[in-house]
């Protein structure tokens, strides 16, 4: 899974970079995130560290070999007249030992449990990779959301300023009361305040995107207006089944149950006999030194080969075996309940995600209509204000409703995009191909707040 993600994203990044060398689109940003995101790199290091547990578990089933060499020298003589030119005695020994477990059910079950635990780690890492896609997409579209918000805030501020200046001019010639000037100024002051806050929010959103990739992205591509919006494919129960079959977090929980099952079997098997085969080879040489007449007393060499078959039967260890077995049984129950909880949570999440996507599609259509209605209402109220049938408050409120409708429509579009990706992520089928497809609907014109 992780190899597919990296190869796909890297290939797509090269392709889009060749088309637009200076564009910060979604694919190129994801490719940077795959290489630079600290959270993913941490997860990758933890995965590789955890994978060594499988090697350690397998080591207990493989032959164990050791070799040793020892040499000893002794010299004796009268006190104060010790000569080291001629040694009285020396010995040298070489040995090689091999131990192979023939029957050890606790180690065997522990190894099987380690394999299942390794699967769980891989599934969790896949979940981290899919989570990175969601984080990149969310941060990317949050920037676009903040840009759109700042754009409408500035437009609203400019409109409020024009209205304030116009109202003040009308008051100076006696066409309106001073209260209308105060009302127009209050709206302008609030609009200016909102613009300042929107500028700060945009800066924070840029920082959040930079924190993922490690590089600034002052210009990013915008979402095209003709981006298609449609309800989720299939029915809700099909998506539930998809999530139960593919969600990596749920698969990791199931693998965790299998791993703990093997650990419980290993603890039950602690009462069983173990059989080991041991083999050894040794070689020793001994020089017993010189006699009184200066002659060598003796020189000997001994070689030996041994083969041992040992059977060990645990009898009593102060109830430690029983305690470890019961602990493993309780841990198994806890892991099973954790997997059951994950299954229920993912079922709830996928249903909510499915409904959210469909709701977003309906909301977008309604908010498009809300913009049309707000524009028509504003035009009518402004015409009424000109002939004296409506007051300044009506105009200000109508204009505010129009800008609220514009911001709501922008939010709805970005919510739909992220929620669609989140639906696939919950189902466990989110891949970089989804980002590549989405990238086709981004305009090559960089987004900037007007």
Using one digit for the tens of pLDDT, what is the confidence trace for 330-375? 999 999 999 999 999 999 999 999 999 999 999 999 999 999 999 9
Task: Report helix, strand or coil for 61.
Answer: coil
For residue range 102-128, what is the model confidence (pLDDT) as tens digits? 999 999 999 999 999 999 999 999 999
On whether residue 167 sits in a domain, the answer given is: yes
Rounded distance between C-alpha atoms, residue 421 and residue 391, angstroms: 46
On whether residue 54 sits in a domain, the answer given is: no
One-character DSSP codes across 322-386: HHHHHHHHHHHHHHHHHHHHHHHHHHHHHHHHHHHHHHHHHHHHHHHHHHHHHHHHHHHHHHHHH
Sheet holding 64-74, edge to edge: 64-74, 89-103, 274-287, 299-312
DSSP 271: G
Length of the chain: 450
On whether residue 132 sits in a domain, the answer given is: yes
Instruction: Find out whether 27 and 435 touch, Cβ atoms under 8 Å.
Output: yes
On whether residue 76 sits in a domain, the answer given is: no
DSSP 231: P
Structural domain total, the chain: 1
- What are the helix (H) ranges across 173-235? 178-213
One-character DSSP codes across 32-76: HHHHH-HHHHHHHHHHHHHHHHHHHHHHTTS-EEEEEEEEEEE--
Of 191, 197, 206, 252, the C-alpha closest to 404 is 191
Instruction: Find out whether 128 and 43 touch, Cβ atoms under 8 Å.
Output: yes
Rounded distance between C-alpha atoms, residue 307 and residue 279, angstroms: 4
Q: Which domain holds residue 22?
A: 2-36+104-273+313-446
Q: Which two tokens stand for residue 330?
A: 């309780």
On whether residue 88 sits in a domain, the answer given is: no
Task: Report helix, strand or coil for 315.
Answer: coil
Instruction: Find out whether 427 and 243 touch, Cβ atoms under 8 Å.
Output: yes
Instruction: Find out whether 322 and 265 touch, Cβ atoms under 8 Å.
Output: no
Rounded distance between C-alpha atoms, residue 60 and residue 366, angstroms: 65
Within 10 angstroms of residue 296's Cβ, the number of other Cβ atoms is 10
The pLDDT profile of the chain, 450 residues, written as one tens digit per residue, is 444 444 444 444 444 444 444 558 999 999 999 999 999 999 999 999 999 999 999 999 999 999 999 888 776 655 555 444 444 677 888 899 999 999 999 999 999 999 999 999 999 999 999 999 999 999 999 999 999 999 999 999 999 999 999 889 988 888 888 998 999 999 999 999 999 999 999 999 999 999 999 999 999 999 999 999 999 999 999 999 999 999 999 999 999 999 999 999 999 999 999 999 999 999 888 876 655 555 555 567 788 898 999 999 999 888 999 999 999 999 999 999 999 999 999 999 999 999 999 999 999 999 999 999 999 999 999 999 888 888 888 999 999 999 999 999 999 999 999 999 999 999 999 999 999 999 999 987 666 665
DSSP 232: P
On whether residue 31 sits in a domain, the answer given is: yes
The CA-CA-CA angle for residues 228, 207, 43, to 5°, reads: 85
On whether residue 288 sits in a domain, the answer given is: no
CA gyration radius, the chain: 38
CA of 35: how far to CAs of 29, 43, 139, in Å? 10, 12, 17
CA of 121: how far to CAs of 137, 396, 439, in Å? 25, 58, 31
Instruction: Find out whether 213 and 32 touch, Cβ atoms under 8 Å.
Output: yes
CA of 7: how far to CAs of 150, 425, 437, in Å? 37, 19, 16
418 phi and psi angles, rounded to 5 deg: -65, -40
On whether residue 193 sits in a domain, the answer given is: yes
Q: Which two tokens stand for residue 345?
A: 């949570």
The CATH number of whichever domain residue 266 belongs to comes to 1.20.1600.10
Rounded distance between C-alpha atoms, residue 228 and residue 411, angstroms: 15
pTM over 0.95: no
């Amino acid at each position: 899974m992780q190899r597919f993600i990296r190869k796909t994203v890297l290939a797509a990044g090269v392709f889009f970079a060749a088309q637009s060398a200076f564009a910060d689109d979604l694919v190129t940003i994801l490719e940077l995130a795959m290489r630079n995101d600290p959270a993913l790199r941490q997860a990758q290091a933890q995965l590789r560290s955890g994978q060594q547990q499988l090697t350690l578990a397998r080591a207990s089933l493989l032959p164990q070999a050791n070799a040793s060499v020892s040499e000893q020298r002794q010299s004796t003589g009268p006190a104060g007249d010790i000569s080291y030119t001629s040694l009285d005695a020396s010995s040298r020994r070489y040995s090689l030992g091999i131990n192979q477990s023939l029957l050890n059910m606790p180690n065997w079950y522990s190894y099987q449990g380690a394999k299942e635990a390794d699967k769980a780690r891989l599934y969790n890492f896949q979940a981290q990779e899919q989570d990175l896609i969601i984080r990149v997409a969310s941060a990317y579209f949050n920037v676009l959301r903040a840009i759109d918000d700042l754009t409408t805030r500035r437009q609203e501020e400019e409109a409020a300023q024009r209205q304030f200046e116009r109202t003040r001019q009308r008051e100076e010639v006696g066409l309106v009361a001073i209260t209308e000037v105060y009302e127009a100024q209050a709206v302008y002051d609030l609009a200016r305040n909102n613009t300042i806050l929107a500028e700060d929010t945009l800066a924070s959103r840029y920082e959040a995107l930079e924190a993922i990739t490690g590089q600034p992205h002052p210009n990013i591509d915008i979402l095209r207006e003709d981006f298609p919006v449609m309800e989720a494919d299939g029915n809700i129960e099909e998506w539930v089944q998809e999530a139960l079959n593919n969600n990596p977090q749920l698969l990791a929980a199931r693998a965790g149950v299998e791993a703990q099952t093997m650990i419980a079997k290993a603890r039950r098997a602690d009462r069983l006999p173990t059989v080991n085969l041991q083999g050894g080879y040794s070689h020793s040489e001994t020089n017993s030194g010189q006699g009184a007449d200066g002659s060598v007393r003796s020189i000997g060499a001994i070689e030996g080969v041994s083969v041992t078959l040992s059977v060990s039967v645990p009898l009593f260890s102060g109830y430690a075996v029983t305690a470890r077995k019961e602990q493993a049984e309780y841990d198994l129950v806890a892991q099973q309940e954790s997997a059951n909880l994950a299954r229920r949570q993912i079922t709830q999440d996928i249903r909510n995600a499915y409904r959210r996507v469909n709701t977003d599609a309906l909301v977008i259509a309604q908010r498009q209509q809300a913009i049309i209605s707000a524009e028509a209402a504003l035009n009518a109220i402004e015409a009424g204000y000109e002939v004296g049938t409506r007051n300044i408050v009506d105009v200000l409120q109508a204009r505010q409703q129009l800008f609220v409708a514009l911001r709501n429509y922008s939010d709805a579009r970005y919510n739909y995009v992220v929620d669609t990706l989140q639906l696939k992520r919950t189902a466990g089928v989110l891949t970089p191909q989804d980002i590549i497809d989405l990238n086709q609907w981004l305009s090559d014109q960089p987004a900037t707040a007007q």
